[in-house]
């Protein structure tokens, strides 16, 4: 297999780079690629051996299933069984930052390892042109979690991927910064109707509007999306949420210009725009972490729209965590 050391991502993913990446994927290699939410760590979703390399590179527990990325509805229908509601959601939001968890279709080619042995499958058709071109060039579904070491902050640039996974990935496609900045919204459409498993890049309100009903929240305490548990998306620094003011030694993650201005302060959106805040979230967490502060104070962020996903990620980043190596 051709190993292309990935420490120095290319300036922009052109056709040649996409063809090279597709070749590596067809041979069972790992390619990090941009999506509009975050960068994914991709492998051929039909190959157990290729998918096993994702779990190894990330240090991810193998009971946590992966999303299979497809070109669109037609490809998805070969892998998952669409209920009427699932079809309506795909119609409304694909390609885009929505993942649907569906019953596995008979004869579906997604590897059992990618599904963590479940008889359901998570499917997403990303909108990013580089992701779409890559999936088309490979001609197979791509299993891809976020391209970070397990439990860490998700990458929203090729440089972030290189920081976390250099030498563990065969190739990094650089598509510039991910415009949405938080992971896809995950909706389960198994028995019993649609349920929200993870808030994300599409506001829950928009999904409810498309369905014409209110989404039943996943039953608390039940492991439905294993990655949606406990400590996740964690920087090295501790986080203090809903901070009204800063302690002297704290770095600050501001929203709407509440804190003083300073070298240890980043404002997610001085004008209070939640979309801008989501796009800045992971990059600013990384920047503040790199300054070496032991604690980051985070200003209150409204809970509506993309604020739901932002608050979800911040709560996980602040959760007590196992010792990281």
Instruction: Give the span between the Cα atoms of 231 and 80, in whole angstroms.
Output: 30
DSSP one-letter string for 217-283: EPPTT--SSGGGSSS-S--SSEEE-S-SS--TT-EEEESSS-SPP-TTEEES-TT--HHHHHHHHHH
Q: Which residue has the closest beta carbon to ligand TXA?
A: 227
User: Which residues within the stretch 116-155 sit at the binding site for ligand TXA (CB under 6 A)?
Assistant: 118, 120-122, 124, 144-146
Angle ∠(239,198,54) on CA atoms, nearest 5: 85
Measured from the CB atom, the residue of 24 and 202 that comes closer to ligand TXA is 202
* Residue window 219-238: x/- pattern of binding to ligand TXA, with contact defined by CB under 6 A: -----xxxxx----------
* Residue window 236-275: x/- pattern of binding to ligand TXA, with contact defined by CB under 6 A: ----------------------------------------
Instruction: Give the span between the Cα atoms of 42 and 135, in whole angstroms.
Output: 10
Residues near 255 by beta carbon (within 8 Å), at least 6 away in sequence: 267, 268, 269, 272, 277, 299, 300, 301
Measured from the CB atom, the residue of 119 and 247 that comes closer to ligand TXA is 119
Q: Does 146 bind Mg ion (CB under 5 A)?
A: yes
The conformation of residue 10, written as its DSSP 8-state character, comes to -
List the one residue from 67, 135, 296, 299 that touches ligand TXA (CB under 6 A). Answer: 67
Positive or negative torsion for Cα 137, 141, 142, 146: positive
Give the N- to C-terminal CA distance of the chain in Å, as an integer. Answer: 29
Q: Does 35 bind Mg ion (CB under 5 A)?
A: no
Q: What is the dihedral of CA 20, 26, 30, 36, to 10 degrees?
A: 70
Q: Does 37 bind Mg ion (CB under 5 A)?
A: no
Q: Which stretch binds Mg ion (CB under 5 A): 62-70, 134-142, 144-152, 307-315?
A: 144-152
Q: Does 185 bind Mg ion (CB under 5 A)?
A: no
Is the preceding peptide bond at 95 cis, omega within 30 degrees of 0? Answer: yes
Q: Shortest distance, CB of residue 146 to Mg ion, whole angstroms?
A: 3
Q: Does 183 bind ligand TXA (CB under 6 A)?
A: yes
Instruction: Give the span between the Cα atoms of 50 and 92, in whole angstroms.
Output: 32
List the one residue from 45, 57, 101, 110 that touches ligand TXA (CB under 6 A). Answer: 101
Q: Which stretch binds Mg ion (CB under 5 A): 40-48, 146-154, 279-287, 310-318?
A: 146-154
Residue 38 interacting entry, from Mg ion, ligand TXA, none, C-beta within 5 to 8 Å by type? ligand TXA
User: Which residues within the stretch 227-256 sit at the binding site for Mg ion (CB under 5 A)?
Assistant: none
**Which tokens belong to 81?**
């069984």
Q: Which residues bind ligand TXA (CB under 6 A)?
A: 35, 37-38, 40, 64-67, 99, 101, 115, 118, 120-122, 124, 144-146, 183-184, 186, 197, 224-228
Q: Which residues bind Mg ion (CB under 5 A)?
A: 146
């Amino acid at each position: 297999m051709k190993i292309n050391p990935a420490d120095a991502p290319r300036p922009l993913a052109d056709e040649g780079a996409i063809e090279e990446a597709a070749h590596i994927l067809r041979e069972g290699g790992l390619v990090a690629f941009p999506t509009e939410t975050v960068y994914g760590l991709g492998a051929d979703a039909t190959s157990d051996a290729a998918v096993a390399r994702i779990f190894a590179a990330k240090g991810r527990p193998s009971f946590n299933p992966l999303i299979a990325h497809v070109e669109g509805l037609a490809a998805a229908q070969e892998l998952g069984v669409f209920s009427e509601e699932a079809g309506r959601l795909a119609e409304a939001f694909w390609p885009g930052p929505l993942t649907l968890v569906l019953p596995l279709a008979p004869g579906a080619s997604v590897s059992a390892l990618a599904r963590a042995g479940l008889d359901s499958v998570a499917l997403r058709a990303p909108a990013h042109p580089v992701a779409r071109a890559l999936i088309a060039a490979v001609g197979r579904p791509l299993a891809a979690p976020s391209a970070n070491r397990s439990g860490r902050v998700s990458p929203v640039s090729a440089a972030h991927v290189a920081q976390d996974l250099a030498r563990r990935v065969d190739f990094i496609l650089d598509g510039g910064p991910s415009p949405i900045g938080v992971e896809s919204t995950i909706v389960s459409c198994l028995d019993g109707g649609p349920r929200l498993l993870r808030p994300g890049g599409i506001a829950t309100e928009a999904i409810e509007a498309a369905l014409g009903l209110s989404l039943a929240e996943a039953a608390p305490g039940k492991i439905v999306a294993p990655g949606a548990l406990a400590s996740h998306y964690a920087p090295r620094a501790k986080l203090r949420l809903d901070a009204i003011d800063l302690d002297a030694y704290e770095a600050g993650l501001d929203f709407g210009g509440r804190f003083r201005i300073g070298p240890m302060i980043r404002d997610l959106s001085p004008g209070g725009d939640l979309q801008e805040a989501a796009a800045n979230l992971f990059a600013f967490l990384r920047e503040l972490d790199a300054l070496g502060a032991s604690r980051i104070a985070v200003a209150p962020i409204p809970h509506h729209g993309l604020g739901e996903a932002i608050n979800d990620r911040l709560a996980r980043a602040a959760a007590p965590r196992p010792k990281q190596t």
